[in-house]
Structure 1
Amino acid sequence: MEDDQKLKVIIVEDDARYRTALSELINASTETECIADFGSAEELLGYLKINSCPDILLLDINLPGISGLEALDKIFLIYPDIKILILTIMDDQDSIYAAFKNGVRGYLVKTASQFEIVDTIEKVSRGYVIYSVDIALNIIRDFEKQASAPEQQHPSAFSLTKREMEVLTLLSHGFKNQKIAEKMFLSVNAIESHLTHIYQKLNAKNRSQAINIAFNSGLVGKLNNAGDTSGNHISRIFLFDKKGSPCRGKEVSMVIPGTDIETTEIKKTDIYGKAVIKHRNSGMARVTVNGQQAGEYEVPGDFAIILQK
């Protein structure tokens, strides 16, 4: 691939040896090129103010001076749509959730393989949101806790107009600006103007943050209750598409061997792509989604499935 067609990557990592290794890894790929690397967030911010936006920013959290998480606000002020991938040793819930709710597109720990790092860079550049299965489950559990809280915000608490609420609802359903414009019979410019006002009123820096605030505050959506009360075990299945978005309304069931082969009740996934299935048997279950086999998984348990279609 010609150099001008390669993905332009910037690395921010305070460990000089690891930073060099990352740069060599990225440059060894035919798809990516490291155009700059820095040992601190301050150096990065100085660079971004006078240079064009990279395709991907590979950012560590533990940095001297301003941490990677603390730098996010400043980075998004310069380039609101920059695609950031965290690569760090920090795998605690607080760091992961802070990155997610601030619009970071992906989160990898430094135990990731070289292939996984390069592959994730390429996927994030194409619009995927990449979090590991464990991270996805933790994030969704957090959403569940917040969504089940009794106190919810009325649109007036954010001074949102009726039209802005319509835009925010469609945004939260995953629609792009062009599709929102078509559904509301407005121009794309009008939708972009509404989004600017929504971001300001919600104190959100980008689409991801606005959607998170909308769900967490109860402005849009509501988690479904788990189904019936039969069965001795509970397994939770999370379905995502190839871009990392939850798959809603999918029909999920399991066939589980045992003394008697058990076929579970069909459950539909909720707004977070989650289906809660109660079952008697345990072991390797064959999972089907909309009547198509989606793989075999150990149950009871929580697991995520990436649908290929």
Structure 2
Amino acid sequence: MHRAEEAAELRVVVVDDEALMRSGLRMILGAAPDIDVIATCDGPSALATVTRHDPDIVLLDIQMPGTDGLTVLAQLRRLPAPPIVAMLTAFASDDFVHTALQQGAAGYLLKDTDPEQLVREVQALASGGRPLDTRIAPAVIDGFLAHGSGKQYAARAVAALSSREREVLTPLGRGLTNTEIARYLHLAPSTVKDHISALITKLGCTNRVQAAVLAERAGLLVPAEDDA
């Protein structure tokens, strides 16, 4: 069990080959009251640093000299209690994105992300979210859904939601409006709106249509009796 489950602060390690980037990320993330950047390092030092500090979250660059980010990701995933790892990089190629997610990365973010948004994405990682930069999320989701891994990806993404969020996602996937979902689940419309906003973020989607596609691929949408 990582310490984020025991205390309010999220313990973060930043892995990047550029000292200036490491310093900047420490400053940005460290300004948040619930985030503590406990260490930064380059690729070759990553495994030893993570093993020593036992962070909750690792932000990992991809293209680094010595030991690249995908190699580091594989090393960290083999640890007995691996941290949550998200890629934070300047490279948004489909090959990098797909490989990182297939190898177990919990998210894929770009280095020019707005600082406040980056803090929110790190917080989302700690609560089970799978953040994807909005500029690459549509292509990533479409790519996974177009191949055999689509259902597996959708199932993993939906499994990260809370039980209430999955309850909301099901009627959303059937095309119900927020008002109709609220009536169906006996919830306030404002509560439904909050749940939808949260689940869209956790799923790495940019809109409710993409969330509905993931709901269908994950098997949440059982045909109504009238359609049988």
- Alignment TM class, shorter chain as reference: 0.5 to 0.7
The alpha-carbon deviation at position 97 of structure 1 amounts to 1.1
Instruction: Provide the residue aligned with 1:291 in structure 2.
Output: 180
The aligned residue for residue 123 of structure 2 is 122
1:20 aligned to 2:23?
A: yes
| Matching residue's letter, 2:174 | E
Deviation, structure 1 residue 60: 0.8
Displacement of 1:174 in angstroms is 5.2
Q: 1:85 to 1:148 in 2, by over 3 A?
A: closer
Instruction: List structure 1 segments (4+ residues) > 4 angstroms apart after TM superposition.
Output: 171-176, 240-246, 292-295
User: Could you tell me which residue of structure 1 aligns to residue 225 of structure 2?
Assistant: none
Q: Could you say which residue in structure 2 is the equivalent of 1:92?
A: 93
Q: How many residues align?
A: 179
Q: By percentage of residues, which structure has more strand?
A: 1
| Counterpart-to-counterpart distance in 2, 1:173 and 1:21 | 30
> Would you say the 8 A contact 2:76–2:82 is kept in 1?
no
Q: Secondary structure at the match of 2:175?
A: strand
Give the Cα separation in 1 of the matches to 2:60 and 2:44: 12
Distance in 1, matches of 2:174 and 2:115, equals 36
Contact 1:54–1:82 under 8 Å retained in 2: yes
Please give the TM-score of this superposition, normalised by the length of structure 1. Answer: 0.49
Structure 2 unpaired stretches of 5+ = 1-6, 182-188, 197-204, 213-228
2:39–2:49: 8 Å Cα contact kept in structure 1? Answer: no
Query: Cα offset for 1:74?
Result: 0.8
Partner of 2:202: none
Aligned to 2:10: 7
**Higher mean Cα deviation, 70-79 or 54-63?**
70-79
> What is residue 48 of structure 1 aligned with on the other side?
50
User: Which of the pair has the greater relative contact order for Cα pairs under 8 Å at 6+ separation?
Assistant: 2
| 2:110–2:133 contact (8 Å) kept in structure 1 | no
Q: Which one-letter code corresponds to 1:251 in the other structure?
A: R
Distance 1:243 1:63 in 2: 41
Does structure 2 retain, via aligned residues, the 8 Å contact 1:251–1:289?
A: no
CA 1:303/1:117 → structure 2, altered by over 3 Å: closer, same or farther? closer
- Long gaps (5+) in structure 1: 150-167, 177-239, 254-287, 296-301
Residue 291 of structure 1 and its aligned partner are, at CA, apart by 2.9
Answer 1 or 2: which has greater helix percent. 2
Equivalent residue letter for 2:58: L
CA-atom RMSD, angstroms? 3.7
Per-residue CA shift, 1:98-150, capped at 9, x if unaligned?
1111111111111101101111111101111111344332223222332399x
Task: Give distance in 1, aligned partners of 2:73 and 2:156.
Answer: 22
Structure 1 residues 172 and 58: CA distance shift in structure 2, 3 A: closer
Aligned amino acid, residue 47 of structure 1: T
Residue aligning to 1:278:
none
CA distance in structure 1 between the partners assigned to 2:12 and 2:102 by the alignment: 23
> 1:242–1:95: structure 2 CA closer, same or farther, 3 Å change rule?
farther
Q: Does the 8 Å CA contact 1:12/1:58 hold for their aligned counterparts? A: yes
**Pairing partner for 2:175 from 252, 259, 263:** 252
Residue 3 of structure 2 corresponds to: none
Contact 2:11/2:37, CA 8 A, preserved across alignment: yes
Residues 37, 173 of structure 1: alpha-carbon distance in 2 compared, 3 angstrom cutoff:
closer
Q: Give the match for residue 204 of structure 1.
A: none
In structure 2, what is the Cα distance between the partners aligned to 1:15 and 1:125? 25
SS at match of 2:28: helix
Q: Is the contact between residue 92 and residue 110 of structure 2 (CA under 8 Å) also seen in structure 1?
A: yes
Identity %: 22
Contact 1:7 1:33 survives alignment (8 Å): yes
Aligned partners of 2:207, 2:49: CA distance in 1, in Å? 38
In 1, distance between residues paired with 2:94 and 2:163?
A: 24
